[in-house]
Amino acid sequence: LFDTNYILSLLDLNSEEALKTCKTLFDILKAQGMKLRVMDLTISECQHLLEKKAEYFDKVFMLKKINSEDIYNACERRNLSKTDLQLISSKLEDELNKLGIITIPNTTKYQNLAKFSPEFESLKRVRNVDFAALHDATAIYYVREKRGKVFKDFDKVNCWFLNNSSNLKFFHSIKNKGNLPEAIKAEDMLNILWLSNPNILTSLNSQDLIDIGITRLISCTLNDSFPRASVLRE
């Protein structure tokens, strides 16, 4: 189950490092015959974010130049316009379907479970917007139902919420009492897949894997050191 930031990375609307990590992992998952899914709520979140970025496209400067993980920076790098962002937003679901990512059309059941959950309350303290916290909590409840039980062994897990966030707080906000969490970061899954079965990564040698890990670590560290967007705007 793909998160918003993973989808944006896969569409090259994040950093170049994020694209390499997410595209490499995506190709491996697809080659292994795994079911690739995205919630309708995630589609809506992606579209809302792209439309907001398009709305303020001509009013920003610093974010285009500084934050390598921002959509504006990707637009600067790829020479994309405001109209391009609006077009990507309008065709998002169709483009994902072409990649083999199927939309889960109705997640109301999981949203209702999430609205009154301790996970939602915990995520609200981490996420800047309640909708984003509800989105993540909804994904957690979807994954839990698909799993059917808790797991302690990676190779037995049948469903993951795949994330490409540089916000480490997200992964420490939900208490799992020693069980494997519902969410996993892209580079973590890539490393675990390689360690568990190096033969499946025939197109990726160990140096490539090291490069992906190092560049992602540098990117996350730099991103964490930047001031908030509101401060940059001031």
Write out pLDDT tens, residues 185-194.
Answer: 888 888 787 7
Separation between Cα atoms, residue 228 and residue 230, nearest integer Å: 5
What pLDDT score does 133 carry? Answer: 92
* Residue 175 reports pLDDT greater than 80: no
What pLDDT score does 190 carry? Answer: 82
Determine what percent of the chain is predicted with pLDDT higher than 70. 76
Write out pLDDT tens, residues 185-223.
Answer: 888 888 787 777 666 655 555 566 556 555 555 555 555
Task: List the beta strands (DSSP E) in 20-80.
Answer: 37-39
What pLDDT score does 115 carry? Answer: 94
3-state secondary structure of 227: coil
What pLDDT score does 9 carry? Answer: 94
Separation between Cα atoms, residue 189 and residue 89, nearest integer Å: 28
Mode of pairing for the β-strands spanning 161-163 and 183-185: parallel
Separation between Cα atoms, residue 101 and residue 92, nearest integer Å: 11
* Residue 71 reports pLDDT greater than 70: yes
Residue whose token pair is 């490539």: 208
**Position 8 confidence tier, pLDDT thresholds 50, 70, 90:** very high
Write out pLDDT tens, residues 87-133.
Answer: 999 999 999 999 999 999 999 999 999 999 999 998 888 887 899 99
Separation between Cα atoms, residue 177 and residue 206, nearest integer Å: 33
Tokens of 115: 């609205």
* Residue 172 reports pLDDT greater than 60: no
Q: Is the dihedral of CA 83, 26, 16, 8 positive or negative?
A: positive
Q: How much is the average pLDDT of 17-46? A: 91
Q: How much is the average pLDDT of 137-166? A: 91
Residue whose token pair is 């020479």: 79
Residue whose token pair is 């479970």: 113
CA 130 from chain centre, in angstroms, equals: 17
What pLDDT score does 131 carry? Answer: 92
Closest Cα partner for 46 from 71, 27, 24, 67? 71
147 CB burial (10 A radius; 0-12, 13-18, 19+)? middle
Residue whose token pair is 């920003």: 60
Name the residue with higher pLDDT: 65 or 115: 115
* Residue 178 reports pLDDT greater than 60: yes
Q: What is the mean pLDDT of the chain?
A: 83
